Amino acid sequence: MATITFKGNPVSTLGDLPAPGAIAPNFSLTRGDLADVGLADFAGKVKILNIVPSLDTGVCAASARAFNKAAENLGGVVVLTVSRDLPFAQKRFCEAEGIKAVVPLSELRDREFGRKYGVEMTSGPLAGLLSRAVVVLNKENVVVYTQQVPEIAQEPDYAGALAAAKAAL
């Protein structure tokens, strides 16, 4: 269990992020077209999992925009932004923001992602949502970088995640 904060107040997660060197847990998440996808759907690519509580918040929106801008220049890397937002809301957000290089994915049907990746918040006002975290997987789905952002209202370390993704190419 990780302890993070939300506006300075302690919040717990269900577990811990997968350790670097571990094989990433598979998942079933829902795209905007309501198709379910897993790791195999992104085979042969380095994957940045940008995990957020909700795209309908300023910091989550900022991280989606930042990774979108970076992903435009990262051939062979796919950025997956994962939240519990409905796929319709994710799609509407991305269209309104001009986000085209990020794949928004929802836990609409299967809530195991948050449990498998240890990011489901179990206390605090956002309990039930996913914490802010970044996980980078190489082409073989081995975890090469993780960051459990210590304060939910803080943006992730983009430079660290992007450097790990580039090194994994």
Delineate the domains of the chain, giving CATH numbers in brackets: 3-168 (3.40.30.10)
* Residues tagged active-site: 60
> Which string of b and e fits 35-73 if b means at least 16 CB within 10 Å?
eeeebeebeebbbbbbbbbbbebebbbebbebbbebbee
- The tens digit of pLDDT for each residue in 38-96 reads 999 999 999 999 999 999 999 999 999 999 999 988 999 999 999 999 999 999 999 99
> Is the pLDDT at 1 greater than 90, yes or no?
no
- The tens digit of pLDDT for each residue in 102-132 reads 999 999 999 999 999 999 999 999 999 999 9
> Is the pLDDT at 11 greater than 90, yes or no?
yes
Predicted TM-score (pTM) of the model is 0.97
The two counts, helices (H) then strands (E), for the chain are: 4, 9
